[in-house]
Amino acid sequence: MEGFYNFLNANAIFIVMIIVLIVWIGIFTFLYNLDKRLKGIEKGIKGDKHEK
């Protein structure tokens, strides 16, 4: 772990890379969950129509 820390300390560009990856994972997870929620609502509306 300390070796990895020392490596990052000496190569700052990899810290930037890790931060960008974390941001990307965050954006992706947000979009994925939003898409899933929308699909759920769309299914619910379709279900309502069929019941009527």
- Rounded Cα–Cα distance for residues 34 and 41 (Å): 11
Helix (H, G, I), strand (E, B) or coil at 11: coil
* Token reading at 51: 């019941």
Q: Which of residues 3-32 bind other proteins (CB under 8 A)?
A: 13-14, 16-17, 20-21, 24, 28, 31-32
Minimum CB distance to other proteins, residue 18 (Å) = 9
Segment (H or E) for 35: helix 12-51
- Minimum separation from the CB atom of position 34 to other proteins (A): 6
Q: Which lies closer to other proteins via its Cβ, residue 5 or residue 36?
A: 36
